[in-house]
Amino acid sequence: MSVIPGIVSNFFNLKQKALVREVNAAVINISGRQRMLSQRAALYALRFVHQPSPDVCQELINVVDCMARSHRGLIYGDTTLKLPGKVSPTVHRILFAPPYELDAQVHQFVSAARQLAETSAPTLDDPNLQHLLTASANRLLSSLDHLVNQYQAEADAQTAAIDEYQANLYAQATAAQEQAQSHAQSLQATLTQLQTTQQQLVHAEKMSSLGQLVAGIAHEINNPLSFIYGNLSYVQDYAEQLMAEIQSSAQATPERSSESVAELDFIQTDLPRLLQSMELGAQRIKAIVEGLRSFARLDEDSLKSVSLQDGLESTLLMLHHTLQGSAQYPSIRVQRHYTPEALDIECYPGQLNQVFMNLCRNAIEALHEAAAQRPQGWHPELIIETRHLKENWVQIKIIDNGLGIPEAIQSRIFDPFFTTKPVGSGTGLGLAISHQIVVDVHQGELVCTSNPEAGTTFTLKLPTKANSQHYQNVISWPKKKQTQIGPVLQGDTSSLSCVNC
């Protein structure tokens, strides 16, 4: 009886293991029953000779039929008897090869019993009866005993092999589990280190942007403050003159000189203008500070529904000073092609603002670089387009008409630490972090198409509704303490956002 293929390898399957034992028990039980059936057949044969009745004859036939069926089941299988029908080479030799030739013995025994049952007047000298009595007591009985012993030995060996294999695999599984736990601990330590390094890199990228951001804020705040404080002295002088004039008018005669009247008229005309310019300057400061507060939400880790246009405008406001012309670079014209309706999406607004800042700043730097190589009459342009897409998606394009990106490096621009800037001028993380924020965090798309010598387009596609299950598994971006900026003036400054960009 051979080991059934697949049984040993599935030793952990208790049902399969129980099946092996059940099959082995059935084989041993049926083979042992063959001995009992041979003895019973001989007994019924003697009864039939002494009392040749139909009942005894039928009992004899039933016994040998059962014996024949069991024999076939042991060789070829029988599902009702739970016999597999697979025999080992040793069992096969017992059945078909000398000295036992058990298959032939069983067939001869069954044939003799059936022939005896068909005899009308059997006698004790009947050769079929003599064959049944001799076989059941000698050669057939010995062969059946040998077969049962072989089945039992193979069952014991199979059970021992399964138990040994199970013990070995259990030891291997235990060792593998210990090794896996060790690897898991090592991977966890590596992951923790990578997360720490990532936070440091993100922080480094923020710090890289912070210098330019602070310079722009200082520039933007300095301009309105200059004319506010510059005009304050005139306001003070005018106020003093007005007070003096009022006092003089109260003491003097009703008749005043034309020069005094003209001076008073000028003050009355110019003072409101000065006050209005001061108010506009204060409102400009408020708009800048509010834009800064809107942009500086990089640490927020909660989803919010925000307007994409507001985030883009906050970014342009922060970059206003770099868009204006200087002695070194021409002014950059910003074209806004926004959808008439609001584009509101669920996102991490601070992180998207960081993406807008990185992409717009890259475009501005590309335009500054192109300014030195373009012919006169060329005008640098930064184009921002937004539109709705089908199935709750939005698209943002940030386009420049600079020199473009060389085709050889276009496939690497989103790789961490890849930069074409001189050493010390960039970290090479801006686009990599932007790609991670858009693709990994927000499940969007960020692609770059560039035509050398013609310009570059960055296209963002974002879902308007967040997948809450996904956002529970995204990377936690490093937090920092929020800084309150203020106090600020109150008033409507919507018309002042990034004017003359």
pLDDT of 139-153, one tens digit each? Answer: 998 999 998 998 899
The arithmetic mean of pLDDT across residues 210-227, rounded, is 64
Q: Mapping DSSP to helix (H, G, I), strand (E, B) and coil, where does residue 450 land?
A: strand
CA gap 298, 350 in Å, rounded: 4
Q: Mapping DSSP to helix (H, G, I), strand (E, B) and coil, where does residue 397 land?
A: strand
CA gap 327, 335 in Å, rounded: 23
Question: 154 with 88: CB under 8 angstroms?
Answer: yes
Whose tokens are 């108010």? That residue is: 279
pLDDT at 11 over 50: no
The arithmetic mean of pLDDT across residues 191-205, rounded, is 69
Fill in the amino acid letter for 338: Y
> Which of 165, 157, 210, 155 is CA-nearest to residue 29?
155
CA-CA-CA-CA torsion sign (131, 134, 137, 138): negative
Question: What is the per-residue pLDDT for 386?
Answer: 94
Question: What is the per-residue pLDDT for 371?
Answer: 85
CA gap 207, 75 in Å, rounded: 82
pLDDT at 477 over 70: no
Predicted TM-score (pTM) of this structure: 0.45
- How many residues in total does the chain contain? 501
Give me the percent of the chain exceeding a pLDDT of 70: 73
Query: What is the bridge-based pairing of β-strands 381-389 and 333-337?
Result: parallel
The residue among 438 and 427 whose pLDDT is bigger is 438
pLDDT of 362-398, one tens digit each? Answer: 899 889 888 888 878 788 999 999 999 887 899 999 9
CATH code: domain 8-178 is 1.20.120
> Which of 331, 452, 320, 456 is CA-nearest to residue 400?
456
pLDDT at 51 over 90: no
pLDDT of 325-368, one tens digit each? Answer: 788 888 999 999 999 888 899 988 888 888 999 899 989 988 98
When pLDDT is cut at 50, 70 and 90, the band that residue 243 belongs to is: low
CATH 3.30.565.10 residue ranges of the chain are 298-472
The arithmetic mean of pLDDT across residues 184-207, rounded, is 74
Question: 73 with 81: CB under 8 angstroms?
Answer: yes
Question: What is the per-residue pLDDT for 494?
Answer: 34
The average confidence (pLDDT) of the chain is: 78
CA gap 171, 255 in Å, rounded: 118
User: What tokens appear for 220 in the block?
Assistant: 């933007």
Query: What is the bridge-based pairing of β-strands 393-400 and 344-347?
Result: unpaired
Measured CA to CA in angstroms, residue 279 lies from 240, 266, 476, 490, 491 at distances of: 21, 20, 42, 11, 10
pLDDT at 301 over 60: no
Which range, of 20-24, 27-31, 145-149, averages the lowest pLDDT?
A: 20-24
CA gap 82, 228 in Å, rounded: 102
Contacts of residue 220, defined as CB under 8 A and 6 or more positions apart, other chains included, come to 284, 288, 317, 320, 321
Question: What is the per-residue pLDDT for 426?
Answer: 58
Question: What is the per-residue pLDDT for 495?
Answer: 32
pLDDT at 111 over 70: yes
CATH architecture assignment, domain 298-472: 2-Layer Sandwich (3.30)
CATH 1.20.120 residue ranges of the chain are 8-178
When pLDDT is cut at 50, 70 and 90, the band that residue 496 belongs to is: very low
